[in-house]
Amino acid sequence: MIQGDPAWATTVGKSMILCLFLVTGSLNLMPARVKDHIDRMAGFGVPLPAFAFWIGSGMEFVGCALILAGWHAQLGVWLLIAFTVVAGGIFHRFWLAEDPMRRQALRIALLNNIAVVGGLLLLLQFVK
């Protein structure tokens, strides 16, 4: 068990979670990835897929910015939770995959999103 002030763990954990969103969010803004996401969203029947993509990206970056700035950080965490839940529901529908390997990969991706939401819920205790 770690003795003393656990603030370092909170700082490191928060940084790791935000790194996930900032890196993947930035990579998803590459033109080919934007088109791929919008096309996949359209294929899944998401209404106004381009609008939905940009709203989701905005939620992701605004959530991170609020947390980093320490200004309405809890709202930032809730934005990341909403983004993660909705993105997981759109992109990780393992139950629709016919190929067993694809189904397993999507299942793991959805479970990873669930774990991220768990980490974000824990983060709510440490941000103001």
Six-digit token pair at 6?
A: 């656990």
Q: Is 84 exposed, middle or buried (0-12, 13-18, 19+ CB in 10 A)?
A: buried
> CB of 16 within 8 A of CB of 67?
no
| Cβ count within 10 A of residue 17 | 19
Residue 9 is predicted with a pLDDT of 87
Six-digit token pair at 113?
A: 């999103």
CA distances from 92 to 24, 97, 119 (A): 16, 9, 19
- Does this model's pTM top 0.85? yes
Residue 2 is predicted with a pLDDT of 54
Q: What span, in angstroms and rounded, lies between the C-alpha atoms of 97 and 80?
A: 26
The Cα angle at residue 8 between residues 6 and 12, in degrees rounded to 5: 125
Per-residue pLDDT of the chain (128 residues; tens, 9 = 90+): 456 667 888 899 999 999 999 999 999 999 999 999 999 999 999 999 999 999 999 999 999 999 999 999 999 999 999 999 999 999 999 999 999 999 999 999 999 999 999 999 999 999 98
